[in-house]
Amino acid sequence: MKLAKRVSRISVSQTMAVGEAAVKLRDQGIDVVDFGPGEPDFPTPENIKQAGIRAIREDFTRYTATGGIKELKKAIVEKHARDFGSKYELPECLVNIGGKHAIFNIFSAVIDDGDDVIIPTPYWVSFADIARFVGANPLFLHTKESDGFRLTAEMLSRAITPRTRLVVVNSPNNPSGAVLDDQEFIRIAEVCRERGVHVLADECYAYFLYDGRKPFSIGSQQALKSHIIIAGSLSKTYAMTGWRIGFVLAAPEIVQSVLKLQSHSTSNPVSISQKAAIEAVTGPQDSVRNMLAEYSKRRKFVLERLRAIPGIQCAEPGGAFYAYPNISSSFNLGIRDTMDFSVKLLETKYVAVVPGEAFGTTEHIRISYATSMEQLDKGLNRIREFMASLR
Ligand SMILES: Cc1ncc(COP(=O)(O)O)c(C=O)c1O
């Protein structure tokens, strides 16, 4: 059967391949430790769930405005202003069905066939495939592990081509946990403005920063605002992955284009989720603080344990809930690449991780610590045994 070329340009997310193999083993009754999932292991906070239940009881179950109800957009721009010092107006905001939908629609609204999109590595898998889907050339800009996987304005300045339309910046980063220095982020956005390129700031993990560091948004920089597009998500911040609420903050023309697209595709985000989202952003924020405190403990534990394993190095993740250790020493011990490492680790020690090749690097694996201390302890012991077995 002949299928559309635009779909043949993309592939099924590699992050899922190891996950599927892990599920098969589990179905056979095997005790698999799963470090794959990129989602909080916490339930959605009670006050948010109750707001969703209330919405159903009050029959708030019909179509809403395509870009989300005014009350939610107002709550989002006000929270962004409070937390980051940004100044967005309602016509500069729209609500989507999760951050991924926001990003997909931004690419669709801004990119033309043959445009270049700069994506620093390691990158969240969907950026590259969405770029290909909309006909862009993804230009991968390799950040260095020795610099903590951080993009610099100087690197970017050398990479921008006359055809570059968009630079993707995801800080804190999935998969590396890298967090850009605020001033460097501003310099990056300044380079973009000078060269007439937009920055797409993916703020999915904006609230998960460690060591007391304050969240930052490039949206706070009024002078650069014309060249900034923010993609936000409530998924991780409020453990709401299944509710599917994300948002865009950008120039009204971009918001209007995304709105047009949504009006002919998904229509509005789920009405019930919108009411829950209002409670999430306007209600008490202690659940976010509690989750951060728990991730912080786990991060310390994972980092210490990984670094104690002979043959493994791990850069310190400043944010998100991932560690991105370098396992390349195993390449001298019979392991071909990170996919081979992940498959053998799963088949022999029953630990699922995501191979770095899925994120555009060749020497790493991603470990999600959005799982219990007990699982972390068990899985890290098994990784230590696996490394020892290679010697
Ligand atoms: C970097 C990054 N951006 C965006 C998303 C999208 O999340 P959602 O569509 O659930 O809001 C994810 C989810 O894993 C992510 O890791």
Mean pLDDT of successive 10-residue stretches along the chain, which has 391 residues? 87 75 93 92 97 98 98 98 98 98 97 97 95 96 94 97 97 97 98 98 98 96 97 98 98 98 97 98 97 97 97 96 98 94 95 94 97 97 97 79
Among 174, 208, 368, name the best residue to mutate to test ligand 1's pocket (greatest count of ligand atoms within 8 A of Cβ): 174
Relative to the CA of 170, which ligand 1 atom is closest? Answer: 1
End-to-end CA distance of the chain: 49
Give me the helices (H) in 85-201, please: 99-110, 125-133, 153-159, 182-194
Residues facing residue 116 across a β-bridge: 137, 164
Model confidence, pTM = 0.96
Residue nearest to atom 16 of ligand 1 (CA): 174
Relative to the CA of 38, which ligand 1 atom is closest? Answer: 14
**Structural tokens at position 8:** 């043949």
The pLDDT value given to residue 15: 62
- DSSP states of 65-113: -TT--HHHHHHHHHHHHHHH-----GGGEEEESSHHHHHHHHHHHH--T
- DSSP states of 165-223: EEEEEESS-TTT-----HHHHHHHHHHHHHTT-EEEEE-TTTT-B-TTPPP--GGG-GG
Other CB atoms within a 10 A radius of the CB of residue 264 amount to 8
Residue with tokens 């370098």: 326
Q: Is the peptide bond before 45 cis (omega within 30 degrees of 0)?
A: no
**Structural tokens at position 316:** 């310190």
Q: Measured in angstroms, how far is the CA atom of residue 99 from the centroid of ligand 1?
A: 5
The residue type of 164 is T
The pLDDT value given to residue 391: 79
Residue nearest to atom 7 of ligand 1 (CA): 99
Rounded to whole angstroms, the Cα distance separating 365 from 342 reads: 8
Residue pair 23/352 in contact by the 8 Å Cβ criterion: no
Q: Measured in angstroms, how far is the CA atom of residue 391 from the centroid of ligand 1?
A: 37
Q: Measured in angstroms, how far is the CA atom of residue 174 from the centroid of ligand 1?
A: 9
The pLDDT value given to residue 14: 64
Q: Is 122 in the pocket of ligand 1 (CB under 6 A)?
A: no
Q: Is 170 in the pocket of ligand 1 (CB under 6 A)?
A: yes
Q: Measured in angstroms, how far is the CA atom of residue 58 from the centroid of ligand 1?
A: 30
Distances (CA, A) of 156 to 195, 214, 298: 11, 25, 33
Residue nearest to atom 2 of ligand 1 (CA): 204
φ/ψ of 136, rounded to 5, equals -85, 165
Residue pair 283/48 in contact by the 8 Å Cβ criterion: yes
**Structural tokens at position 300:** 């310390």
Q: Is 204 in the pocket of ligand 1 (CB under 6 A)?
A: yes
Q: Is 171 in the pocket of ligand 1 (CB under 6 A)?
A: no
Q: Is 273 in the pocket of ligand 1 (CB under 6 A)?
A: no
Q: Measured in angstroms, how far is the CA atom of residue 233 from the centroid of ligand 1?
A: 7
Q: Is 198 exposed, middle or buried (0-12, 13-18, 19+ CB in 10 A)?
A: buried
